[in-house]
Amino acid sequence: MTQPASPAPAPQPTNNKAGAVRRRPRLWAKTWPYLAAVGSLLAIWQLAATAIGKPFLLPGVVDVMPRLARIFTNEEFTTGFFKSLYRLALGYPLACLLGALLGLLGGVSKTFAVYLRSLISILQSIPPITWVPFFMILLGFGDLTVITIITIASFFPMALSVLNGTEGVNRTHLEVARTLGASRGQLLTKVFAPESLPAFVTGAQVSFGNAWRSLISAEMVGGASVGLGRYLSYRSEIADMQGVLLSIIVIGTIAAVIDLVLLEKLKRRLLHWRYVSGGDQ
């Protein structure tokens, strides 16, 4: 916390180019353990397949990879693939929006916060797929049922995270805004909301995990006739072990890509002020 004699000299010209150069080795340091983890899983799989020696029971990596490479030419698979992504693209943002909104409201009203916590604890104790039979009767077979289940399963991590975030809002930050003349609405949009952004990002990440798991499982137990989950369970029914394995790979890869690339980008964008270097902290 040193104070320059005259304020003119800047505390080091900051960022961008310098930051980008520094980030590259760090990216690699984060990437290679990840690649090692993927590699070891594949190695265990291949070893097990070789040991068992029955490709119809457990095909090896070398058996599945060629089919995986061609999988997007298979119409049954691609239809299911895009159908699942479509459901995710509707259900997940809807859940995030709903969760964030409810969480923020809980930050403003103590009574609502208690109500919301109770609601969440009830919903949390019901596994999402138990809603499948219920919504299948109510909403029918297909998109609407699956999307509703995704939303139910993934709104509450977001709501809980944002609620905790708003409870941690710096009291002085609120008072500064109040003395400068902020209305209740402005407190919400200009202090509560930005202050809860880190919690929002955490919530988005946890919610995504819930959304993806409930999407696949809802499709698997019969919430819809097409979709990645449905493809997987059908391949199992006809004892197509290659199809089962490649579905698992695709399901895992999509989740990892969305989590590591999209959500990480979102985080850096929303919280970009945290990644500005320089200064004394």
- Residue numbers at the binding site for other proteins (CB under 8 A): 1-4, 6-8, 10-11, 14, 170, 172-173, 175-183, 186, 190-191, 194-195, 197, 271, 273, 276, 278-281
Nearer to other proteins by C-beta: 4 or 33? 4
What single string gives the DSSP state of each residue in 189-227? Answer: IIIIHHHTHHHHHHHHHHHHHHHHHHHHHHHHTTS-SSS
Nearer to other proteins by C-beta: 124 or 183? 183
- Taking the complex as a whole, the smallest distance from the CB of residue 9 to other proteins amounts, in Å, to 10
Contact 198, 271 (CB under 8 A): yes
Nearer to other proteins by C-beta: 11 or 66? 11
Helices (H), 53-109: 61-70, 75-108
Contact 192, 109 (CB under 8 A): no
CA distance 145 to 135: 6
- Taking the complex as a whole, the smallest distance from the CB of residue 11 to other proteins amounts, in Å, to 6
- Taking the complex as a whole, the smallest distance from the CB of residue 14 to other proteins amounts, in Å, to 6
Nearer to other proteins by C-beta: 137 or 176? 176
- Taking the complex as a whole, the smallest distance from the CB of residue 102 to other proteins amounts, in Å, to 22
Nearer to other proteins by C-beta: 8 or 238? 8
Token duo for residue 249: 């790979």
Nearer to other proteins by C-beta: 138 or 176? 176
- Taking the complex as a whole, the smallest distance from the CB of residue 198 to other proteins amounts, in Å, to 9
Exposed e or buried b per residue across 165-192, where buried means at least 16 C-beta atoms within 10 angstroms of its C-beta: bbeebeeeeeeebeeeebeeeebbeebb
Contact 132, 145 (CB under 8 A): yes
- Taking the complex as a whole, the smallest distance from the CB of residue 111 to other proteins amounts, in Å, to 22
